[in-house]
Structure 1
Amino acid sequence: MQDREPPLFSFGIIADVQYADIDDGSNFKKTRKRYYRNSLKLLQTAIDAWNVEKVKPSFILQLGDIIDGFNKTHNASQSALDTVLRECSRGPPMHHVWGNHEFYNFSRDALLSSALNSKCHSGQLLDNHDFYAYHFSPAPKFRFVLIDSYDMGILGHGESSDKYQLSLKYMKNHNSNEDLNRPPAFAGPEFNGGFSQDQLQWLDEVLTKADKMQERVTIATHLPVHPLATEPQALAWNYPELLSLLQAHRSVVCYMAGHDHDGGYHQDPATGVHHLTLEGVIETPPDSQAYGTVYVYEDRMVVKGNGRMRDRELMYPEGLAG
C-alpha cells in the first residue's frame, strides 16, 4: 500500500509480549510454543525499528500482558517488569493497557502506583473513577480511548469487594474448572473479564462528546468484543453491551485488542468499525515478528505489519472521512 501524501501522524502497536526469564514453554492446551525470553528480543527490535522510522511514531499502544504470569511463581514479577520497562523507555511514549497477566503478577492497587499506569504518567486527561481508563488526543479531530476489560472479574480485586463477589458468582455459574482463570472445556469468554456499568456509562459520555466534535476515535483494550475478530474464549464477558455502545456512536473508527495470540480482524457492516486483534509476541518464533506501525490520514489508517502482523488499510466509516 503506497501513500503519496505524508501521514498526519503515526503510532506503534504491540501486544502480549509476556516476557519471563524462563525456558520456552507452551499454552494451556500444549498446542503452541511460547518463547518467554525471546519475546524481550522481539520487543527490543520493534523499539529499535520505531526509533529509526522516517515518520517516528508519536506514541505506542501496548495492548496488555507485557510480562507473563510465571514471573509470579518465580518471585520475579518486579524484576521482569523493570526489564521490559527499561526497553520501553528507549522508544516513543507508551500507553499501557492492562491484561490478565498484569493481574496474575500484581494487585490493582500495585498497578495503579506503577509505571504501567500510563493514565497517571502521561500527563493526559485524568478521570475520577475506580477503573483504569482514560483518553487523549494526539492531533486535532483524533481521540484514543484506553478502557479496562478487567474492570469486572476476579483478577486484581480484593476478595471482599463487590466487584470480586459479583464476578466470582458469574464465573462459577459458567466455568466448571477448579482454576477459574483456565478456559472452560467448551470455550467461552467466562474466564476473562468485562466492563462495569459505570465504565460503560463513562465511555458513552466520552464518545458522545467525540460525536459532537466530529472526532475519529480508536479504542484500545486487552479483550476483543467482536466474535468474528477472535476466538470465543478470548471475548470480554459482556461484549454484546460494548458492541451496542459502539453502534450508537458514529465517532468510533477502530477497536484494537490483544489476548488472542493468533490475531484477527473484522469490519462490522452495521457501523463500519474495524475490529483489529493483534497477534501475540509471546507465540512468535525467533525468526519472525509481531508488531506494527499505523499511519493516520484524513480518510483512513494504514497498518504496516511486521512478521505475523499483516498490512491493512482501514477506511473510516462513511461520514468521518475527509
Structure 2
Amino acid sequence: MDAKPEPGPLSESSEPLFCFGVIADIQYADLEDGYNFQGSRRRYYRHSHLHLQGAIEHWNKESSPPSCVLQLGDIIDGYNAQYQASEKSLELIMNTFQRLKVPVHHTWGNHEFYNFSRDYLTNSKLNTKFLEDQIAHHPETVPSENYYAYHFVPFPKFRFILLDAYDMSVLGVDPSSPKYQQCLKILREHNPNAELNSPQGELFL
C-alpha cells in the first residue's frame, strides 16, 4: 500500500480556513488579589476583567475576525457567592462580552455552580443553546431540558461539540432531589477525601 503523502508546510501566504477565539477561567470578582485553593497560585480577581476587555478588543480588530469565541467556563469566581455578588459580577462580565462582534458559546464550569443553581444557569445568558445547529433528534436521544450540551458547525466539515461536564454532579442540584443523592453516592464511593470538594486527587463531581 502506498504511503499517504505528508502535508507540506504552510507558506506565509497560506490562508486559514477559519479561526475562532478561546478564553477560559476569567474568574472575575470585585475583590483584592488572593490565592487558589492550595494557596500556590495568585489570583487577580479584578484584573481578570481587564484581560477580558483586552481579548475582546483584539478579536474585534482582527483583519480576519474569528467566526466565534468559546468561553470555557469559570466566568466568575466562586467567592462571589460568599459576598452575595454573583449576579452583579456576572452582569458586568456579560455586558463586556456584548462588545464582541461575533457569537460567544458559553460552557459551565464548577465556579458557575458555586454561584448559581442549574435552573438559574439554564434561564440565564450563559445558556447559548440557541446557537446550536437545528437538526432532527431521534426520540430516544433527545436530551432533557436541563442537560446543557449542543453542537454547531462554524465552518464546513468542522463540528464543535459542547458537553455538560457537570450533568452528574452535586453542584447546582437541589440536595433533596434523587439525582443529588445518586451523585453524592458516586462521589463518596470514588473520592477518598474527607472534604469532598478538595482538589486532592483531581476528582470533581
Same topology, TM > 0.5: yes
Q: Deviations over 1:98-151 (max 9, x none)?
A: 00000000000000000000113x264386423110011122211111001101
Q: Percent identity?
A: 50
Superposition pairs for residues 199-278 of structure 1, below 5 Å? none
Q: Show the counterpart of 1:305.
A: none
1:177 to 194, 197, 204: 194
Aligned match of 1:100 in 107, 110, 114? 110
Query: How far apart, in 1, do the equivalents of 2:60 and 2:158 lie?
Result: 23
- Does the Cα contact within 8 Å between 1:69 and 1:102 map onto a contact in 2? yes
Task: Output the CA distance in 2 between the equivalents of 1:133 and 1:123.
Answer: 9
Residues 129-168 of structure 1 correspond to what in structure 2 (within 5 A)?
129=144, 130-168=146-184
- Does the aligned pair in 2 maintain the 1:12–1:59 contact within 8 Å? yes
Does structure 1 residue 63 correspond to structure 2 residue 41?
Answer: no
Q: 1:46 aligns with which of 37, 41, 55?
A: 55
1:33-58 deviation line (CA, Å, top 9, x unaligned): 00000001001000000000111011
Secondary structure of the structure 2 residue equivalent to 1:136: strand
Are 1:21 and 2:38 an aligned pair? no
Match of 2:128 in 1: 118
CA distance in 1 between counterparts of 2:73 and 2:202 reads 20
Does 2:91 match 1:82?
yes
How far, CA to CA, are the matches of 1:65 and 1:188 in structure 2? 17
Give TM-score, length-normalised by structure 1: 0.55
CA distance in 2, matches of 1:46, 1:79: 21
Quick one: structure 1 residues 3 and 63, their matched pair in 2 at CA, closer, same or farther if it must change by over 3 Å?
farther
Cα deviation code 1:178-223 (max 9, x no counterpart): 3x22223xx232xx13xxxxxxxxxxxxxxxxxxxxxxxxxxxxxx
Residue 132 of structure 2 contacts residue 151 of structure 2 at CA under 8 Å; is this kept in 1? no
Bigger relative contact order, structure 1 or 2, given CA contacts below 8 A and separation 6+? Answer: 1
Q: 1:2 to 1:167 in 2, by over 3 A?
A: farther
Contact 1:175 1:183 in 2 (8 A): no
- 1:109 aligns to 2:119 (yes or no): yes
Structure 2 counterpart of 1:28, which letter?
F
Q: 1:70 to 1:2 in 2, by over 3 A?
A: farther
Residue number in structure 1 paired with 2:82: 73
Where in structure 2 are there 5+ consecutive unaligned residues? 1-9, 136-141
Give the count of matched residue pairs.
187
Find the residue that maps to 1:177 and give its secondary structure: coil
Per the alignment, in what secondary structure is the counterpart of residue 19 of structure 2? strand
Q: What is the identity, as a one-letter code, of the residue corresponding to 1:4?
A: S
**CA-to-partner distance for each residue in 1:288-313, whole Å, 9 max, x for gaps?**
xxxxxxxxxxxxxxxxxxxxxxxxxx
Aligned residues of 2:56 and 2:99 also touching (Cα < 8 A)? yes
Deviation by residue 1:200-257 (Cα, 9 ceiling, x = unmatched)? xxxxxxxxxxxxxxxxxxxxxxxxxxxxxxxxxxxxxxxxxxxxxxxxxxxxxxxxxx
Report if aligned partners of 1:11, 1:58 keep a CA contact under 8 Å in 2. Answer: yes
C-alpha root-mean-square deviation of aligned residues, in Å? 1.7
